[in-house]
Amino acid sequence: MPSTNELISSLSDRLRPVRRLWPPTWRALGWILLATAAIGALTLIRGLRGDILTQLGDPAYRVQVAGAWLTGAGATFAAFNVSLPDRSRLWLLVPVPFGLLWLTGFAYGCLGDWIAIPAGAPIIADSVRCLETIIMASVPLSLALWLMLRRNKPLQPAGIAWIGGLAIAGFADTAHLLIHVVQASLLVLLINLVPVAFIISVGGLFGQRRLASDAIGRI
């Protein structure tokens, strides 16, 4: 049976140097810059919506786009901070006011600029194009965020996964709002809001399982 000193020596021989992670604020800023760059690249590939100059003069549109981007940014800061065991869970409340701003833009559009869908309008084709943009934005961002967060090996992954899903949804909808025309009708709003809810749900459920398995694998 090995002695205590021999056991300690055998364990220490297997140690490998670990690179220190950057502070959560800097890591969050890096991912926000990546997400913003991805939005810019998508607008170059798919083109800005045709009425962008008119929409920029509409307060509801500006509120909605700003709210979506700020929700993504606030949720990103929350995710990177709560992934550390010494940070307060109150960070999860950071994106709440921005999320309300995001929803306010939708609500104002519904009440102030309601447009009925004309007969024969290409709803399905337009919705497919919208969905393509949301997928093109959310899939690579989801992968990048998961790879960055998993390095923290969070002990409580549930809140991190859900808030990460919210971050991805906010940035994906920012790209969507800049590229596609979203008329203020109930059906079209539902078609465009459902993918956002789906991203948050998938990010929360799948991300929670993956982050949890990474944490278990560390033990």
Block mean pLDDT (10 aa), the chain, length 219? 62 62 89 95 92 88 91 94 85 92 72 50 65 85 83 69 86 89 54 57 54 46
Domains in the chain, number: 1
Sort residue 2 into left (φ over 0), alpha (ψ -120 to 50) or beta. Answer: beta
Rounded distance, CA 23 to CA 172, Å?
A: 25
- Report yes or no on 88 lying in a domain: yes
Residue 53 is predicted with a pLDDT of 92
Answer whether residue 116 is part of any domain: yes
Cα separation values, 204 from 55, 64, 103, 114, 125, Å? 32, 23, 20, 33, 29
Are 75 and 167 in contact by the 8 Å Cβ rule? The answer is yes
Q: Is residue 92 a contact partner of residue 82, using CB atoms and an 8 Å limit?
A: yes
Helix (H) or strand (E) holding 29, with range, is helix 24-46
**pLDDT at residue 22, as a whole number:** 82
pLDDT for 2: 59
Residue 46 inside a domain? The answer is yes
pTM of the model: 0.76
123 in a structural domain: yes
Residue numbers of the domain that contains 152: 25-218
Pick the closest to residue 172 from 143, 210, 130, 209 (CA basis): 130
> Which residue carries 């808030």 as its tokens?
163
First-to-last C-alpha distance (Å) of the chain: 25
Res 190: pLDDT: 54
201 assigned to some structural domain: yes
The answer to whether position 5 is within a domain reads: no
Bridge partner list, 184: 114
Q: E-assigned strands of 42-94? A: none
- Region for residue 153 given its phi and psi (left: phi exceeds 0; alpha: psi -120 to 50; beta: otherwise): left
Copy the structure tokens of residue 12: 């220490």
